[in-house]
Amino acid sequence: MRRGRHDAVTTQVNGGPHVVVIGGGFGGLTLVRELARARRRGRLRARITLVDRHNHHTFQPLLYQVATAGLQPQDVGISLRAILRRHGIEIRLGTVTGVDATRHVVTLSDGSELAYDRLVLAVGAITEDFGVPGVAEHAFGLKSLPEATTLRNELLRRFEEVSADRARSDDGTLTFVIAGGGPTGVELAGALAELVDLVVRRDHPTLDLERVRIVLVEPRAQLLGGFSARSGRAALDGLRRRGVDVRLGVGIAGVAADHVELTDGEVVPTRSVVWAAGVAASPLAAALGVELDRGRRVPVDDHLRVRGLDDVFAIGDLAAAIGADDRPLPQVAPVAIQQARHVARVLVDEAAGRPTRSFRYRDKGAMATIGRAAAVAELPGRVRLRGLVAWVAWLLLHLLMLVGFRNRVAVLLSWVWNYATYDHSARLILDQREAATAETARGPVPRSWAV
């Protein structure tokens, strides 16, 4: 019997293997649900454990709407236990820091170990700063609910600061810089422009909103680099009509607390920089002890096994799976979902003694919204949609992809309200740092649990 330091246990359960899935994002959540479905149908005997550092699944494509007060955090997040409680999936809250493929155990940040027979890494990606000085210290990220709510707090606080002191209008407080012209950057820029024009204008009627600058910086010559040039131009025109200052062919050379320096030498005063310029594979990839590709992603074979480790699979942003064009597949949700379903089939086929098929990704297209009633969509068969039709298609697709009926209803109602009233109702400044200090008669007292 294999045992780890604290709680690694025998993995064989009723003759079935212990499948451990790390990560409750699109890939990991899809995989454990597919495995649970196969187990209910008698096609698989296995114990299934999902490990994640958060207790919830996050619908990342809509985080920018949380950041711009269009949606509540709970609209795009749902408890993993709520999703999986009827599936017989064990859930472990924790951060995996290491993998011992020889002993078949993973190590968690609390020092405990979890044994596995089959391991699937679906840990996603982290923000890639490309070595630009100051990004980690001063820029806002947008990959988690805490980051989205923190950004919302800061965006709303900027307008309150200028309302209290009009001299702040000229020191960069009302300048917002977004780094990266991919879907996240474009969607955030459009949503922020509409927040200012439709909501802030009414909330702060005495502010001179002509002082507000939204600057979108993209080093390449086109927005939405994975789309056609025509879609890129449509995004560019749509953002400029909304007052966004789009800089193409210009990157960020450095970020400070009160300004950014662009690669063309210009210095832009700002206290709000959002980094949406790229992603990198999770640092957990380095713990596998295998040679990584240039993007620090894990090389996998045609069945999505980590090369050299027969019992370990990698899917989603972590996996350097090669597509039909001999290039690594993009780090997007549809790839992770399709890979998760493939690994589930591989595990079921292995259990039945059947040969396994190679993974083939089917590109179902891409979409990006520019703002109210404006979007671009590129679908298989060279179908290109723009404007209102593309926007409606974008809305429907994201509603279908959301996990949980309550979340779908909540998001739909919020979208209807926002569209009908030109309002964003989720504009609360909720700073968790406030709770770290107790206000008492003898003065502020730091709370021990916040230290």
Q: Which residues are catalytic?
A: 187
Distance CA 46, CA 115 (A): 14
Give the pair of three-digit tokens for residue 262. Answer: 């662009």
Amino acid letter, residue 24: G
Distance CA 210, CA 213 (A): 8
In this structure, the number of other CB atoms found within 10 A of the CB of residue 451 comes to: 6
Nearest to residue 36, comparing CAs of 24, 46, 27, 23?
46
Provide the b/e sequence for 198-220 (b: ≥16 CB within 10 Å): ebbeeeeeebebeebbbbbbbbe
Give the pair of three-digit tokens for residue 412. Answer: 């739909």
